[in-house]
């Protein structure tokens, strides 16, 4: 219909123009939406293809790879438990070696027994040149001990041999703190002997009853000279 058609009034012609313009705009929006939708579909298709490609590459790369079995996994848990040797074993080892008997006989049982200590007594000894701070650390249980021996059930001779062997093992391993469990007992005989033996031993710098939470007056921590130049220790490094 031509705009020059005189059968339509001016107002009808304006309305017709608006209608045509609206149809044209709706058509543009429809085309734009279709293009956007098409682009999104292409992008999704591309992403899907990329994922499939990467999955295929990963599968190829993992061919022949087996899952690690549990029993092949290394245990990383640290073992902090300290060793506690058997007094009877130490006494037998000492007797078998024989080389340390001379030093053992130098520790007088009689001298120890002539200076008895009560079963509940707190033992404390140090050489005069030992630093006070070091002794206080030993007394407070702050110094980690290397090995311990329990003398319960031992005869005096077995206990003496076990103590000497324990001190020798510590020396060979360049360790300077050990623990000796002597017990309290009714008469405190083993406790009396340990107190006397350690005071006579040339490697002992100090000893003291352990804190209550570690055995109290039933055990002692012993501080030894550290054998830095021990040939056997050097050979093991």
Task: Please check whether residues 52 and 121 belong to one and the same domain.
Answer: no
Q: Is residue 72 part of a domain?
A: no
Measured between alpha carbons, how far is 125 from 220 in angstroms, rounded to an integer? 10
Q: Is residue 17 part of a domain?
A: yes
Q: Is residue 77 part of a domain?
A: no
Q: Is residue 67 part of a domain?
A: no
pLDDT tens digits for 68-79? 555 444 444 444
In the predicted model, is pLDDT for residue 187 greater than 80?
A: yes
Task: Please check whether residues 134 and 224 belong to one and the same domain.
Answer: yes
| Domain span at 45 | 9-58
Per-residue pLDDT at 214: 84
| Percentage of residues of the chain with pLDDT beyond 90 | 42
Mean pLDDT of 147-161: 94
Answer for the pair 117, 191: CB distance below 8 angstroms, yes or no.
Answer: yes
Q: Is 178 helix (H, G, I), strand (E, B) or coil?
A: strand
CA angle 138, 81, 197 (to 5 degrees): 45
Q: Is residue 73 part of a domain?
A: no
Measured between alpha carbons, how far is 41 from 31 in angstroms, rounded to an integer? 15
Total domains in the fold of the chain: 2
Task: Please check whether residues 103 and 46 belong to one and the same domain.
Answer: no
* CATH code, domain with 100: 3.30.1370.110
């Amino acid at each position: 219909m031509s705009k020059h058609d005189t059968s339509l009034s001016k107002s009808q012609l304006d309305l017709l123009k608006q209608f045509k313009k609206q149809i044209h705009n709706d058509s543009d929006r429809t085309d734009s939406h279709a293009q956007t939708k098409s682009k999104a579909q292409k992008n999704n298709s591309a992403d899907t293809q990329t994922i499939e490609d990467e999955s295929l590459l990963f599968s190829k790369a993992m061919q022949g790879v087996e899952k690690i079995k549990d029993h092949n996994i290394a245990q990383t848990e640290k073992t902090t438990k300290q060793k506690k040797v058997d007094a009877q074993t130490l006494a037998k080892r000492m007797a078998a070696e024989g080389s340390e008997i001379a030093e053992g006989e130098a520790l007088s049982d009689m001298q120890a027994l002539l200076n008895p200590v009560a079963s509940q007594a707190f033992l404390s000894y140090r050489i005069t040149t030992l630093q006070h701070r070091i002794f206080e650390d030993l007394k407070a249980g702050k110094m980690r001990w290397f090995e311990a021996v329990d003398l319960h059930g031992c005869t005096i001779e077995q206990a003496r041999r076990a103590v000497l062997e324990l001190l020798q093992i510590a020396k060979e391993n360049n360790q300077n703190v050990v623990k000796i469990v002597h017990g309290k007992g009714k008469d405190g005989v083993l406790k009396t002997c340990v107190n006397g033996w350690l005071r006579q031993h040339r490697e002992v710098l100090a000893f003291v009853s352990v804190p209550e939470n570690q055995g109290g007056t039933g055990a002692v921590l012993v501080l030894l000279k550290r054998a830095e130049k021990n040939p056997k220790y050097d050979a093991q490094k």
